[in-house]
Amino acid sequence: MAGTDIEGSNNAYTNGSIHTSNGSVDDKIDELRRLLGKSDDDPLRIVSVGAGAWGSVFAAMLQDAYGHLRDKIQIRIWRRAGRSVDRTTAHQLFDVINSREDVLRRLIRRCAYLKYVEARLGDRTLYADEILKDGFCLNMIDTPLCPLKVVTNLQEAVWDADVVINGLPSTETHEVFEEIGKYWKERITVPVIVSLSKGIEAELEPEPHIITPTQMISRSTGIPMENILYLGGPNIASEIYNKEYANARICGAEKWRKPLAKFLRQPHFTVWDNGDLVTHEVMGGLKNVYAIGAGMVASLTKESATSKSVYFAHCTSEMIFITHLLAKNPEKLAGPLLADTYVTLLKGRNAWYGQKLANGELTLDMGDSIKGKGMIQGISAVKAFYELLSQSHLSILHPEEKKPVAPVELCPILKTLHKILISREVPSQAILQALRDETMNDPRDRIEMAQTHAFYRPSLLGQ
């Protein structure tokens, strides 16, 4: 069955109070409904496409906040069918259920507990879409969510959606939204899309340029960029669902970013709006690149605070340098942008991957989709940024050698990560050698160079 019904939200799952400093839940939803031209008898339809950790948590947060208003809003999540849950994960899932009385009671009440007992005994195979209906994300088993309406048929999920949340990795965004575009050809109204994806892809023809997830969505569907936004911030999915205080920025056209910021804001989740879509989305991809290296440094130095801070200084200077190539007046690496970078380097899945790679628990041959974690987007982003910044026709003047060089030559950390992860020329230990290179300049020099020279290359964004 493609779709599954859920119970209305109740106090067991409510995430935040009904009234907030930004107005009542009813007022916020009514404002967004008016902007979208919804009639009184037509519910606002929101669908999250992709059921990774952040996509699932985002849908669950909306369900917790607004799910009780069933006549005004419908929230659903799409994920592919057929992904089975292995025996080890089934055991872990059973333990989680029995350690949480509220979850156990909920499953018993919904007559859903027995299947987890059978899976624990090996008498039944569970599927990812099946357990998501009960509030369990395959990439985040230890953090039970509220029940969700799960749809496995993509056309059914999106054809009448008013707001679409892109929870897919950048490597899958183009393919899935190209299919969605076919279902939207005869639409009269234009949906609004909020992308959570933090990755970057590169194309070298006809001219080298990057493609951000929002650009992929626009190209694949024909939806104008003014209706596509990006949301990012220092967000660890499980911690946000457990109501650790967090903040984020939603970036894009003013028409949509301001009402959406208000709609998404919750007592423990502050959402600000910002007009610089390019910088935030590029930084979202870059932080995953450098988070892998941060994990390596942490593992190889046994969590040395000094080494990690040295790495942080160098990698953030490279990030600033790169964004000045891609945006004319990029947003400063401060506030939520800096916090997003910090938390990703500290605890995100890409940093986790770097740690496991450095200590030998993972190998490159295992690929970039890791059981229990999902897609490690930093790997493809390393390749994309390296290929882009290696192009000789983008050359800039080397500050010391006074000769033209490709931009990547001024990004030694990025070069080293490419040698470790992509060309596989050197082991993980090379990241420390790069940090300890006596010829490496003060990170401040790279930042000053970026801020005082005319680096901006519109062609790098396909403009």
Q: Cα–Cα distance between 335 and 271 in angstroms, integer?
A: 12
> Exactly one of 28, 38, 198, 287 is catalytic; which is it?
287
Three-state DSSP string of 253-310: CHHHHHHHHHHHCECCEEEEEECCHHHHHHHHHHHHHHHHHHHHHHHHCCCCHHHHHH
Contacts of 41 (CB under 8 A, 6+ apart): none
Q: Is 347 a catalytic residue?
A: no
The Cα diameter of the chain in Å comes to 72
Query: Looking at the annotation, which residues are catalytic?
Result: 287
